[in-house]
Chain A
Amino acid sequence: MNEMANIQLSRASVAPRFPAHPVAGMAGTSLKHDHLPSIMANGVERGFFEVHAENYMGAGGPPHDALTRIRRDYPVSLHGVCMSIGGPQPLDKTHLGRFKALVDRYEPALVSEHLAWSTHETTYFNDLLPLPYTQTTLARVAEHIDEVQEAIGRPILLENPSTYVLFLQSTMSETEFLRELVRHTGCGLLLDVNNVFVSATNHGYSALGYLGDFPLEHVGEIHLAGHAEQADDEGDLLLIDSHDGPVADAVWKLYDIVIGQCGPVPTLVEWDSEIPDWPILKAEAAAAQAILDRHAYRFMPGKAHAAG
């Protein structure tokens, strides 16, 4: 333990520490390098930026330069996309080491990963693939979350997936599965409201019903994003979690209800393809901030707690 403390001390003496920048009650956006000149030139009054951890796992160069500059001025959320926590095979220790190095280097306000898998054997599929919800997978996923949290020395927020298929072998609901993961590992949750809407539509259940079963008291961050429309084999609506457009009206309504229930939880607007100019993305974040602020007063210390 002493050795550990020494290592941390020596690192602190070399690398300048970043300011704390609290993220509470804020809306933020995905950080896109095309937006950097606008962000740097005009600044952002209030907000945070979320980055996909894997894009910053190179040794150096412009990605780290940009993230360092952003981290000096704003809270940063580190969002892992390919830890493959939901897969049956052991976690990639090298990848976990890289993830830990990023957490140590940038001291992010939020750290999250997905309830999904993306690597099987040696192939990386670059998609968030689904898993069945059973006692067996629950045990395996809980082990993986424990391993990540132990490596980085702090709890993670686990994101609910958007899915297109159901597994015949599932014996638990998704909300039950997430609730058990929280109970066994102490992790928090990242509630993606668009994913809830997409999955509910795709699987024919009520999004509000899902949210009613969701352990909202453990939500440490919220994601909002746009989705696209396709059709399933029967010709019915199938929603695709595409992150390529504005947040849908129905998702904004669900979000308003969620914030009314659980207070001003930091909220991220994701936009990962067909990326618009900065003012458009900034306006989406401002819309989320308005909802956060509208509910915030009821959750201020000293006020009667209106939630629930």
Chain B
Amino acid sequence: MQPVDFQDHRHDVRIGYAADFAGPLLDPERPPPAFIAGPNGKAAKKRYAVYRNNVTVSLINALAATFPATLRITGVDFFRAMARFHVRATPPTSPLLFEYGYDFPDFIERYEYAGSMPWLADVARIERAWLDAYHAADAAPLPPQALASIPPAHLADTILTPHPATRIVRSRYPAVTIFAANRVGGPVTPIEASEPEDALVTRPGMEVVVRRLPPGGAVFLTRLLAGEPLAAAAEAALTDDSEFDLSANIAGMIEAGVFNDIRGGG
């Protein structure tokens, strides 16, 4: 046994095998690397194909696990074909698969075969937000009585801090209704909704909850999440939608666990 020379290779950043092995993994047009073989001079085409298949199929499976409602809507074959294009074009850059798929909704929007389902990308956006909420840091949601502790004179300047799980997904389509109908098993029921729906995703405890935001709610909450005080956010919401109801919005959002903390102004 020769002694190992630890000095020699320390700064040799690139040793060829990984680059040459990795290149054809996601590109079926490229031949397998020349330096691999089976035993006794056997060929390695099918052998290398095992790795190709593992990579592609496991990443498609990862997307299927993150976007189950999207899959249920399109059917398995459609979804897997669409996901295969995405996996090859945009493989993950993080070893954490729950961080994969942020670009998938935009890909769906551009995917020509999904053109007849213009709401599909928004359903996928809700599913991506769902997984963010699932893995978000644990934090106690703001209790309902917290707002009552702020003196009325300071309410306008009050800042509400979002819970780490809180996400908003805006849609021009009834995306929340379609998401909710397809996120569960059982028979598919016809969807009657046609109004635009903005989704609120929260996780006050261990359960992720997706609900519809009331009129003006998305603008109101987006401003609050950006750190704007209550009065400014309410004004923006009223401008967006004259039906905006401040107290109903705040009550609903506190009940949903949107906020983590409150800071009175003044």
Contacts and interface: CB of A to CB of B under 8 A. Distances in A.
Interface in A106-123: 117-123
A147 to B, nearest CB: 12
Given A63-B135, A184-B4, A169 B35 contact: yes
A90 B43 CA distance: 32
Contacts of A277: none
Interface in A56-77: 57-65
Most chain A CB within 10 A, of B46, B50, B92, is at: B50
Interface in B193-225: 203, 206
Most chain A CB within 10 A, of B2, B17, B47, is at: B17
Contacts of B264: none
B98 A165 contact: no
B36 interface: yes
Contact of A140 (B9, B59, B206): B9
Contacts of B40: 204
A216 interface: no
A64 B138 contact: yes
B134 interface: yes
A6 interface: no
A87 interface: yes
A297 interface: no
B153 interface: no
B37 interface: yes
B91 interface: yes
Interface in B1-53: 1-2, 4-6, 8-10, 12-15, 17-19, 21-22, 25-26, 35-40, 42-48, 50-51
A168 B22 contact: no
Interface string B92-121: 111111100000000000000000000000
Contacts of B21: 120, 129-130
B74 interface: no
Interface residues of A, number: 63
A28 interface: no
B137 interface: yes
A39 to B, nearest CB: 17
A123 B22 contact: yes
Contacts, number: 177
Given A143-B6, A165-B36, A234-B42, A124 B94 contact: yes
A10 interface: no
A27 interface: no
A238 to B, nearest CB: 7
A61 B134 contact: yes
Contact of A87 (B6, B18, B45): B18
A167 B48 CA distance: 12
Contacts of B134: 58, 61-62
Contact of A82 (B95, B98, B139): B95
Nearest to B131: A58
Contact of B135 (A60, A90, A127, A132): A60
A60 B137 contact: yes
B76 interface: no
Contacts of B1: 176, 180
25 contacts: A58-B135, A59-B137, A64-B138, A88-B17, A89-B14, A89-B18, A95-B95, A122-B93, A123-B93, A125-B22, A125-B26, A126-B59, A127-B58, A131-B17, A136-B12, A139-B8, A140-B15, A142-B6, A164-B50, A169-B17, A169-B35, A202-B38, A202-B47, A233-B43, A238-B47
Interface of B: 1-2, 4-6, 8-10, 12-15, 17-19, 21-22, 25-26, 35-40, 42-48, 50-51, 54-55, 58-59, 62, 91-98, 133-139, 164-165, 203, 206
Ranked nearest first, the 7 interchain pairs of A and B with the lowest CB-CB distance are A58-B135, A88-B15, A60-B138, A59-B137, A82-B95, A233-B43, A120-B22
